[in-house]
Amino acid sequence: MTSQSNPATGPSRRGFFRGTAALYAAGTAVQGQSQSTAPGDVTRTLARYLVASKPGDLPENVRREGVRTLVNWVGCALGGSREAAVSNALAALTPLYPGGKTTILGRREKLDPLHGALLNGISSHVLDFDDTHLKTVIHPAAPVAPALLALAEQQKVTGAQLLHALVLGCEVECRIGNAVYPAHYDIGWHITGSVGPFGAAVAAGKILGLNEEQMRWALGLAASQPVGLREMFGSMTKSFHPGRAAQNGLTAALLAAHGFTSSEQALEAKRGWARVLSTTQKFEEITGQLGQRFELLLNTYKPFACGIVTHPTIDGCIELRAAHNLKPEQIERVDLDVHPLVEELTGKQAPAAGLEGKFSIYYIAAVALMTGAAGPGQFTDKLVRDSAVNVLREKVHITVDKSLREDQGRVSIRLTDGRILTRNIEHAVGSVEKPMTDTALDAKFLELAAVALSPARARKALDVCRRVESLTDAAAITKATAA
């Protein structure tokens, strides 16, 4: 797979997604061929499909991926629930909503439904650990799930309804994202926040039972509320984006349900969302094969709490450590062959704080070899300053290899006894080609949940998420995850 362009999905400017695009094309084979929807009909066609869709229409593999998406999302929200972005937002808002009844996952505080959605969106994204649709770098669940959980505490929603709405919401975000990516992202929009209101509006709209006209209005109200500039990356406002997108979409659906009118061609109109917020538009990505191909099947889950370009290295280190029961004192030198982006994005030699550790491939390799992991617990100030880790870190060397894909890498370790151990990583774990197993996802969930819940409650919460389709009341999820 060396081509920069795949005819089935159009040119991909980001090499990391080449493998994904190929798999996707192989699995569905026809994207881009169905251009039968006239541009003037995009919003209408989408709304008609959404209103008609029923839980039973979803293929079994899509429902299964929906459950994995939910499990990963709830874990991330629990894991992020004690971060400063969440605490500060709660400090600002709780005084205004003394009687709030909407659960903030992992917290005792409660808010009104709309700001509850905001807060759960913030906490689920703040660790940069949530699910990713690699084709568009959208984090699909973060704007959708919070809107649904807030609604499920307002009215009776079954778990099957919630899962169905979650799938549709993610689907709409990713399809709209496909239509404008990468131009829209390159302009400077944080795509999760700018497409997020559509996903939340659609998901909430399904629960509220919107008819086709109301669904078009909900999409219109969502179109007028994009959130998020990439300029905010590195500040708390980044995680605000998916949260506000959740809130905006939920507001859109509530208003539409009460006759609040909007444009009915919000996506495709001359001054509609896709033309105002992007310089390119592929509308067939939005309406092609609705109900037949599902973008959710391309959703991925991060095994490691740091940038995706470092994952092949981490994979290799953890595998070699486990296979040879390696101890730090055995290691004389570590050589990494890496894609150029690894040096560009994570070339920091001597990080001084936990967050900086995420931007040092040297530290990341050392801590993975030392602990066998790269979760949130590996990026603390304490570990970054640990002298044993630093001794190992200074033994790590990198060689940039332009022939590698971004999800490819090589780790070589020279031991004190003269042996050289090598591991080639073809696809990092967490990619579509080598997804996290359910067992690994469950372990990730439990580690993240431990931030807010006792081990027993964390297990219970995981069990509730896994059983979502059988829940008669989806509010069981929030009940299981409140602190």
Which positions touch a second copy (CB under 8 A)? 84-85, 88-89, 91-93, 96-99, 112-115, 154, 187-190, 193, 217, 220-221, 223-232, 234-237, 240-241, 244, 254-255, 257-263, 265-266, 269-273, 275-276
Closest approach of a second copy to the CB of residue 79, in Å: 20
Q: Report the candidate in 202, 207, 164, 158 with the shortest Cα–Cα distance to residue 477.
A: 158
Closest approach of a second copy to the CB of residue 480, in Å: 24
Q: Which is nearer to a second copy, 98 or 418 (CB)?
A: 98
Q: How many residues does the chain have?
A: 483
β-pairing, 396-400 vs 331-338, is parallel
Q: Which is nearer to a second copy, 238 or 405 (CB)?
A: 238
- Say how far apart CA 133 and CA 176 lie, in whole Å: 12
Closest approach of a second copy to the CB of residue 381, in Å: 18
Closest approach of a second copy to the CB of residue 187, in Å: 6
Angle (nearest 5°) at CA 53 between 48 and 56:
170
Closest approach of a second copy to the CB of residue 183, in Å: 12
- Say how far apart CA 41 and CA 452 lie, in whole Å: 46
Q: Which is nearer to a second copy, 72 or 192 (CB)?
A: 192
Q: Which is nearer to a second copy, 272 or 303 (CB)?
A: 272
Q: Which is nearer to a second copy, 114 or 345 (CB)?
A: 114
Strand partners, 200: none
- Say how far apart CA 268 and CA 262 lie, in whole Å: 14
Distances (CA, A) of 422 to 158, 372, 400, 413: 50, 16, 17, 6
HSE at residue 118, side-chain half, CA atoms within 13 A, is 22
Question: Strand, coil or helix: what is 166?
Answer: helix
Distances (CA, A) of 136 to 206, 429, 473: 24, 19, 33
Closest approach of a second copy to the CB of residue 127, in Å: 16
List b or e across 448-468, with b for residues whose CB sees 16 or more CB atoms inside 10 angstroms.
Answer: bbebbbeeebbebbbebbbeb
Closest approach of a second copy to the CB of residue 266, in Å: 6
- Say how far apart CA 39 and CA 70 lie, in whole Å: 33
Q: Which is nearer to a second copy, 72 or 265 (CB)?
A: 265
Residue ranges with strand state E in 339-476: 396-400, 409-415, 420-425
Q: Which is nearer to a second copy, 250 or 383 (CB)?
A: 250
Q: Which residue's entry shows tokens 């349900």? A: 257
Question: Strand, coil or helix: what is 310?
Answer: helix
Q: Which is nearer to a second copy, 93 or 391 (CB)?
A: 93
Closest approach of a second copy to the CB of residue 50, in Å: 19
